[in-house]
Structures are given as C-alpha cells and as structure tokens.
C-alpha cells in the first residue's frame, strides 16, 4: 500500500520517459527521478522489515507436511466446487503436523569437532572446538533459532577444558565432546553420549559417536526416546547418493615380509673353466 502506488505513478513512468529520451541524450534526469522512487521503495521495505513480528521462524519439518499442504493448495486453486474448501482443512493439518514435528536434542558435525545440545531452556548450547561456523548457523536455522553462531548465549550450558567439553540435556543427562583419548576414561563413566573425532575405546558405557561412525554416517542428529536416542544420519544406511555416497572404511591387512627363496649357488659343470 505504501510502495506500489509510487511504483505505478512515479517509478515506471520515469523509466519509460528515460528510455524515450535515451537516443537524444536527455535521459539522465529521468533516471535520477526514477531513483528517488526506488529510494522510497527501499525505505518502506526496511521499515516494514524492522517492525515487531516482521520475521517469523519455524523449526525444520519433514516432507510429509509439505506434501499435505501442497495437495491442499491444489484443491483450493483447481477445484471450483465447494469441495475446494477441503484444501483449507488439509493446510491446517499440515501446519499442525509441521509445528509438532520432532526436534533433535543433539546435533553432531560430520568432523566430530562441534555439537549442539538442547538444554532445559529448550534452546541449543553449542560446543565447537573447530572453526566451522556455517554448520552452527544451519543448526540454529533448522531449529527456528534467530541467534548467530557468535552469540555468547550459545556457550551458557557448556563447560570446556583441554580434554573436551560437556553439556547437559534437558533431562539432566550429559553429552561430552572428547578432544583427547584421555578424556574417554572419565566421560565414559558419567556421560550418556560421547562425541569425538577419535576412535572409540574398546569398552565404554556411553553411546559413542566416533571417527569411524562419522565417516560412514556423516553428520548425525539424536532425538531422545526414553532412556535412549533415535539416530538420524545424513547418509542413511543402504542409501547411496551420487553427490554424497557413504564412504567405505577399508582396513588393509597386515602383511609379513616373505623370506627370499634359498637357491643353490654351486656353479654348473658347463660353466667351469680350466683352473676352477
């Protein structure tokens, strides 16, 4: 209502006059006048974008709600009978489905150097021992969180030392990010989940997300299910994507050097010369 009248009555006419005057070299004034109208449009857009509630966020949801709302929109747009209003019901069902979609409690980066843990306040706390801020930005966007990767509140529920980091889930269980092999000894006895870019130890009571699993599964999300977790892999088992196939871990078998075969060094009779 504030921008479109200016576009119709000012911006477009000035553009047309500028094109007409272009061959005669008198077009500059019309482009300048057109620019004033564009400045008004930009000012209106920035003002609206700054209003409370101008930006809305929703957490990520599966393809199911998207398909349902698509069918609903098709019914509303294509049908001409009263049956078309059934599409509105489908759209409402899709909205409720999307709003109540399960949200991960833990995100793990594919390199094992960053994790996000949902705390008692319902928001993520992030432990990042690397420099990957893009992944953290995507995690926050997928959760409908407007914070930036450098927001100080992301570290509010995380304690770190040289061995690694520890964060607490909303139910009180601990999630550890182990930076060294020595950290496993303590973390295995108190953490419910351990994330590490290293190989897992032979024995550990916690759920381990180690280098081998991350190479096969890629980034991982965990959703709390009772005392355990439902694991969501970015590379599902049995699914081979052309652009991101599951990497196979092949360990070469150790080979022992073979001893050279002994040979008889006695010269043949035909090779002997006089005096030998």
pLDDT per residue as tens digits for the range 153-202? 998 889 998 888 999 999 999 999 998 888 888 889 899 999 999 888 88
**pLDDT band at residue 129 using 50, 70 and 90 as cut-offs:** confident
In the chain, what are the domain boundaries?
Answer: 4-49, 63-99, 106-233
pLDDT of residue 243: 64
**pLDDT band at residue 257 using 50, 70 and 90 as cut-offs:** very low
Task: Please name every residue paired with 124 in a beta bridge, in sequence order, or none if there are none.
Answer: 118
Cβ–Cβ under 8 Å, residues 42 and 80: no
pTM: 0.69
Cβ–Cβ under 8 Å, residues 78 and 97: no
Q: Which of 6-20, 24-38, 82-96, 170-184 has the lowest mean pLDDT?
A: 170-184
CA-CA-CA-CA dihedral for 174, 175, 181, 182, to nearest 10: -20
Residue scoring higher pLDDT (233 or 54):
233
Mean pLDDT, rounded, for 6-23: 95
Q: How far apart are CA 248 and CA 181, in angstroms?
A: 24
């Amino acid at each position: 209502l504030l921008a479109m009248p200016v576009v119709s009555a000012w911006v477009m006419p000035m553009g047309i006059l500028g094109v007409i005057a272009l061959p005669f070299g008198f077009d500059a004034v019309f482009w300048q006048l057109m620019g004033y109208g564009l400045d008004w449009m930009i000012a209106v857009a920035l003002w609206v974008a700054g209003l409370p509630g101008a930006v809305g966020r929703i957490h990520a949801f599966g393809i199911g709600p998207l398909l349902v709302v698509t069918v609903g929109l098709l019914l509303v747009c294509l049908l001409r009978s009263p049956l078309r209003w059934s599409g509105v019901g489908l759209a409402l069902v899709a909205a409720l489905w999307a709003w109540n979609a399960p949200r991960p409690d833990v995100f793990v980066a594919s390199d094992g150097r960053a994790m996000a843990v949902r705390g008692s306040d319902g928001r993520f706390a992030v432990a990042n021992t690397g420099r990957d801020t893009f992944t953290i930005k995507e995690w926050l966007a997928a959760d409908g969180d407007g914070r930036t990767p450098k927001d100080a509140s992301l570290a509010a529920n995380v304690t770190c030392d040289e061995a690694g980091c520890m964060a607490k889930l909303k139910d009180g269980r601990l999630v550890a990010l182990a930076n060294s092999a020595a950290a496993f000894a303590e973390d295995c006895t108190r953490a419910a989940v351990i994330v590490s870019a290293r190989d897992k130890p032979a024995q550990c009571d916690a759920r381990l997300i180690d280098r081998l699993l991350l190479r096969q599964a890629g980034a991982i999300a965990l959703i709390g299910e009772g005392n355990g977790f439902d694991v969501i892999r970015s590379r599902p088992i049995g699914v081979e994507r052309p652009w991101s196939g599951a990497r196979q871990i092949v360990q070469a078998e150790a080979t022992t050097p073979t001893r050279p075969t002994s040979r008889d060094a006695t010269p043949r009779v035909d090779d002997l010369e006089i005096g030998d």
